[in-house]
Each structure stands twice: as structure tokens, then as C-alpha cells.
Amino acid sequence: MIHAVWGTKNREPYLMNAVRQKIIQHIKDNAKSKQIYIDTINGHNDHLHCLFGLNADMSISKVMQLIKGESAFWVNKEEIIKTKFEWADEYFAVSVSESMIDKVRVYINNQEEHHKKITFAQEYENFIKQYNFNIHG
């Protein structure tokens, strides 16, 4: 299982409640049609978290391209947001051991509560430090 996190371009708060739910539902439907198994998906005003299964013939980058690229295209085509919508280019993805899956599900499902205490920018920096990623800009 992979836990991926990605944000809106420039961390714009486009993903307010009703919009976020529409986009999440579309991502789930689109993923299913492409045989991508989404276990849990949720987010906050400027980003989404997704726990998904990776099958043998698909890479993380391919799944992210299918999810992010297609959903941005759909948001713009359906005019879900009144301005041009884009996801940020970067994303964060880590594998999740079987023993941690329930903890990650709870974390993803509690985004609203979580982000009362910490911003997405702070959360992203914490992930980078926690997993010792070397980010080149």
C-alpha cells in the first residue's frame, strides 16, 4: 500500500467541503475504471491524502499521473471551480506496512481535525524530515 499526498498549485484553498467531496468521488470512480485500488482518500482545503494499492504493472508515478492529471482535466472541463484548476507538480509517496495501514486510514480520515492544529505546509515539512527525504528545488 502507498500513502500519497499532493496539493493544489500554490496551495490554493480550492478544495472546500462540497468541491473536495465531488473531486474525491470522481477520483474514486476514475481509479476504479483504471483498476487502481483506492483504500482511503480524504484531504483538506489545499491537498489530498490517498492510500492505494499498487499492482505489479503500475508505478507510483503512473498512478499519480492518472489520478492527478485526469482529475485536474475533469475539474476544468466540468467547471467545478470557477478558475483554472491545477495540482502542484510535486507529491509525496511512501509505502505503508501492513501493521500501519489502520493508523494511516485513521490519519487520512481525520484530516479536518488534524488541520485545525497544523497547516499543510507544516505537515509536508514534517513528512520530509520524518522520512529523511532530500528535496531538490
Give me the CATH number covering residue 44: 3.30.70.1290
C-beta of residue 33 within 8 angstroms of C-beta of residue 84: no
In a domain, 136, yes or no: no
Which one has a higher pLDDT value, 5 or 120?
A: 5
In angstroms, rounded to a whole number, what is the distance separating the alpha carbons of residues 35 and 53? 10
CB 7 within 8 A of CB 92: no
Q: 3-class DSSP state for residue 40?
A: strand
- Is 135 part of a structural domain of the chain? no
The pTM of this model reads 0.87
Number of folded domains that form the chain: 1
Degrees (nearest 5) of the Cα angle 48, 51, 114?
A: 50
State the Cα–Cα distance between residues 5 and 3, nearest whole angstrom.
7
Per-residue pLDDT reduced to its tens digit, 3-29: 999 999 999 999 998 999 999 999 999
Domain assignment present for 86: yes
Which structural domain range is residue 102 located in? Answer: 2-130
Nearest CA to 42 out of 105, 122, 120, 108 is that of: 108
Please write the tens of the pLDDT for every residue from 51-74: 999 888 999 999 999 999 999 999
